[in-house]
Amino acid sequence: MRVQISIDKVRGPFVRQVEEISGQGLLDCNQCGKCSAGCPVVAAMDLLPSQVIRMAQLGMEEVLESNTIWICASCLTCVTRCPKGVDLPRLMEALRQISLRQGVAELDLGALPPELTKEVPQLAIVGGFRKYIK
Amino acid sequence: MSRIGVFICHCGINIAGTVDVERVAEEIGQHPQVAYATTYSYMCSDPGQQLVRESIAEYDLDGVVVAACSPAMHEATFRRAVAAAGLNPYRCEIANIREQCSWVHEHEPGRATQKAVETTRTCVEKVAWDEALEPFHLSVIKRALVIGGGIAGMQAALDVANAGFPVVLVEREGRLGGKMAALSGTYLNFSAAPGLLERKVEQVLDHPHIEVLAGAQVTEVEGYVGNFAVRVSALADPLEVGAIVVATGWDPYPLSRLPEYGGSELADVVDGLTFEGMLQEGRAGLGRPSDGRTPREVVFIQCAGSRDPERGVPYCSKVCCMVVAKQAIMFKEYVPEGQAYVFYIDIRSAGKGYDEYVQRAMEDHDILYLRGKVSKVFRGRDQVIVWGVDTLSGQPVEVAADLVVLATPMLPSRQAVTLGQTLRAAVDQSGFFSEAHPKLRPVESLTAGVFLAGVAQGPKDIPETVSQASGAAAKVLQMFSQEVLIQEPTVACVIEQFCSACGACVEACPYGARAIHPLWHIATVNAALCQSCGACVTACPNKACQIHNWTPKQILTMADVLVGV
Ligand SMILES: Cc1cc2nc3c(=O)[nH]c(=O)nc-3n(C[C@H](O)[C@H](O)[C@H](O)COP(=O)(O)OP(=O)(O)OC[C@H]3O[C@@H](n4cnc5c(N)ncnc54)[C@H](O)[C@@H]3O)c2cc1C
Ligand code: SF4
Ligand code: SF4
Ligand code: SF4
Ligand code: SF4
Ligand code: SF4
């Protein structure tokens, strides 16, 4: 499918929301790719970090379906190296929040195997409940 | 029998580390024409040159061979030294035993030494037949012709005229200014451009030393450096000038050559120059050509026709990445509610403050750059549909645009090729005038006395055009500051008793240096035009053509040494 590009998308509500929550100007990123080159967990991601910001620039909400935004460990490697001063983990956090608010990634406690609930840090489970605060 | 001195240089260990220079001296010393052979550590040093000078007197030498580095390095040095000792400088030759011997045969010292001996011997044989020549002196007409009245031509004319020399400026259109007059403004300092141009035009028109011939064309050029006779359509008599600056600039790329982008078929697909005209009027000028409506979504397509050796031109037009950033920014200033998209292959914004400007277009003006060449543009309902790709996200994309602006290449002036023939100045395969050397002589053409400025030589923007124009003017002034021009005498000549006036050489000469004399019925050479290329020598069926000090006799004797006869 051809991605439709228009002012309603590239300057639309999704882009505005991402920019507002993350505090980042999406078009500050000139797609140099340095973030993706140095990300320590990039191997586990389905989209490169730079592709995540690219899709956000284009107003493609599908980016919320990417596992990258969840795999990002907020290690700040990319922030310290980005030539344009883009804070990518803040962007990732913004995308996670939007995704939670949309209920995209709901946590079903009952579906978790009991062995897992024992091992998983409590903080993670509490974090998972943020879905209820929309 | 000549008395030739051979001076073999060690060049420190550069030569002597590989070549056994003493053996070269010993072997070459046995040549019947060699009266003296010696070596020295650095022959180009003062004591080295002194050795050469003193030996000329001491051994009564009548010719000199210096076996050393490439003649490009020190031929002039040694010819000066020889002249200072009273010998004709053209009886001094350089045998290259460094670049073409010791440096390339480092691992075979024995054979390198043998090659050094042979190379030096070829030069001994040549010097034995070298004539004592005198350089020519040409007078200089201290008036310049500038062809083209764009920013390049005006700048060159002003620089020469401000130094006090008369200039004739020939412009094919009825007015001065060239393409800059059609621009909305320039990037970096937008509003300044039109005012700047107007002031320049006034300065040119008011200048007491500049004569402007507008609506005129150069039709014929005769003569040579320092002494050209130029026919201009507007004048009855030929103009006599000493130097010519070519500043014929560029012409637009026909939109019809871009059918896949709807070029010349869709009204709302325009080229960059047309969009400049629209921007000149501000928001009011931005109405779409089809219906006058102010466009909201504008797509810019970079490299439209450039960097496309298959279907367009192979070169990068150099200015359009910056021009597009400027146009997109200006569009956003006039239509803040609009959105601009730029499709690009890569962004070429080299230059002081240039990349910062492009980054600002993205950051401050929300212009969306999409990496990928557009494949086609076609008619939509009320819009034009742009099909491209964003290779960064790997997505094919579609934009329904109100207006599409194509950054098409600058083509050389449509008259460049014919003008090049008239001036006997070479143009490259794209039609831009060829510079004499791509690095070291970028403002001179290959024809002595013809200089280049601006886009006539290749795509460039206004600051670079102005720099090159001032450079060309400096070259003209350098010529005009001399009373006479010195011309190398190693040019072609005619052995009159062999010449049958067949005219083969006249046909062959690429520089128009040869003619058949109407009365004597014999070929003649205009020494000022001859570039010693040798074409006439091979063309002549009667062996009546020769180049001074490069005669067939000399070349064949040199070859005999190498094949061991
Ligand atoms: C869309 C567009 C926008 C641009 N915007 C900018 C910008 O913002 N900033 C910038 O720095 N550069 C810009 N440029 C580049 C700029 O136009 C050139 O750098 C500049 O025009 C070069 O000047 P010139 O004198 O070499 O050539 P020209 O401006 O083309 O002038 C050549 C002159 O020679 C005349 N001529 C041609 N052939 C003959 C002949 N045979 N006999 C007599 N006269 C002849 C022509 O009529 C013309 O007057 C832009 C280019 C384009 C395509
Ligand atoms: S390093 Fe910064 S500018 Fe480069 S792609 Fe990543 S976010 Fe964009
Ligand atoms: S902050 Fe996230 S995206 Fe950036 S390098 Fe670390 S893990 Fe990768
Ligand atoms: S300057 Fe930019 S737009 Fe123009 S041809 Fe070169 S790369 Fe393409
Ligand atoms: S080609 Fe030779 S013979 Fe013929 S005109 Fe020229 S010099 Fe004379
Ligand atoms: S050497 Fe070349 S330039 Fe000189 S007269 Fe012969 S053909 Fe012409």
Domains of chain B: 4-133 (3.40.50), 144-252+411-484 (3.50.50.60), 255-408 (3.50.50.60), 488-548 (3.30.70.20)
Average pLDDT over every residue of B480-501: 94
Per residue in B425-442, pLDDT (tens digit) is 999 999 999 999 999 999
Extended beta strands in B304-373, E state = 339-344, 368-371
Residue B451 main-chain phi, psi, to 5 deg: -115, 160
Per residue in B126-150, pLDDT (tens digit) is 999 999 999 999 999 999 999 999 9
Residue B406 main-chain phi, psi, to 5 deg: -100, 125
pTM exceeds 0.90, yes or no: no
ipTM of the complex: 0.79
Whether B344 shows a pLDDT value over 90: the answer reads: yes
Ligand 6 atom closest to residue B529's alpha carbon, by position in its atom list: 3
How far does residue B348's CA lie from ligand 4's centre (Å)? 6
At which residue do the structure tokens 């030569």 appear? B15
Chain A residues near residue B395 by CB distance under 8 angstroms: 2-3, 58, 60
Residue A106 confidence (pLDDT) = 60
Q: A41: Cβ below 6 Å to ligand 3?
A: yes
Closest CA to B26 of B38, B12, B10: B38
Rounded Cα gap, residues B500 and B555, in angstroms: 24
Chain B residues near residue A11 by CB distance under 8 angstroms: 339, 366
| Confidence band for B512, pLDDT divided at 50, 70 and 90 | confident
| Confidence band for B1, pLDDT divided at 50, 70 and 90 | confident
Across the interface, of B363, B387, B393, the residue whose CB is closest to A58 is B393
Average pLDDT over every residue of B531-537: 94
CB contact under 8 A, B296 and A7: yes
Judging by DSSP bridges, how do beta strands B523-525 and B368-371 pair with one another?
Answer: unpaired
Average pLDDT over every residue of B170-179: 97
Average pLDDT over every residue of B235-245: 96
Chain B residues near residue A51 by CB distance under 8 angstroms: 392-394
Residue A119 confidence (pLDDT) = 82
Chain A residues near residue B368 by CB distance under 8 angstroms: 5, 10, 27, 57-58
Across the interface, of B366, B392, B398, the residue whose CB is closest to A5 is B398
Domain range summary for chain A, segments of one domain joined by +: 7-103, 107-134
Rounded Cα gap, residues B207 and B65, in angstroms: 54
**Beta carbons within 10 angstroms of residue B322's beta carbon:** 23
**Beta carbons within 10 angstroms of residue B26's beta carbon:** 13
Ligand 3, atom 2: closest residue by C-alpha:
A72
**In terms of C-beta density within 10 A (0-12 exposed, 13-18 middle, 19 or more buried), how is residue B538 classed?**
exposed
Ligand 1 atom closest to residue B410's alpha carbon, by position in its atom list: 53
Whether B520 shows a pLDDT value over 70: the answer reads: yes
Q: B535: Cβ below 6 Å to ligand 5?
A: no
Instruction: Tell me whether A7 touches chain B (CB under 8 Å).
Output: yes
Across the interface, of B339, B363, B396, the residue whose CB is closest to A10 is B339
CB contact under 8 A, B363 and A57: no
Would you mind telling me the total number of residues written for chain A in this entry? 134
Across the interface, of B297, B366, B393, the residue whose CB is closest to A6 is B297
Percentage of residues of chain B with pLDDT beyond 90: 93
Q: B330: Cβ below 6 Å to ligand 6?
A: no
Ligand 6, atom 2: closest residue by C-alpha:
B533
Average pLDDT over every residue of B164-177: 97
Cβ atoms B218, B419 nearer than 8 A? yes
CB contact under 8 A, A3 and B395: yes
CB contact under 8 A, B398 and A57: no
Chain A residues near residue B393 by CB distance under 8 angstroms: 3, 51, 54-55, 58, 60
As beta bridge partners, residue B341 has B299, B368
Rounded Cα gap, residues B241 and B231, in angstroms: 11
Per residue in B182-212, pLDDT (tens digit) is 999 899 987 667 788 999 999 999 999 999 9
Average pLDDT over every residue of B461-471: 97
pLDDT means over runs of 10, chain A (134 residues): 93 97 96 94 96 97 94 94 95 93 71 81 70 46
**Beta carbons within 10 angstroms of residue B477's beta carbon:** 18
CATH superfamily placement of domain A7-103: Alpha-helical ferredoxin (1.10.1060.10)
Chain A residues near residue B367 by CB distance under 8 angstroms: 27
Residue A130 confidence (pLDDT) = 60
Rounded Cα gap, residues B152 and B468, in angstroms: 8
How far does residue B505's CA lie from ligand 5's centre (Å)? 6
Residue B122 confidence (pLDDT) = 97
Closest CA to B184 of B342, B324, B291, B340: B324
Residue A128 confidence (pLDDT) = 65
Rounded Cα gap, residues A84 and A30, in angstroms: 8
Question: Among B447, B491, B551, which is best to mutate for testing ligand 6, by the most ligand atoms less than 8 A from CB?
Answer: B491
Residue A104 confidence (pLDDT) = 62
Residue B9 confidence (pLDDT) = 98
The ligand minimizing its distance to the Cα of A66 is 3
- Shortest CA gap A57–chain B (Å): 8
Q: Give SS3 for B469.
A: helix
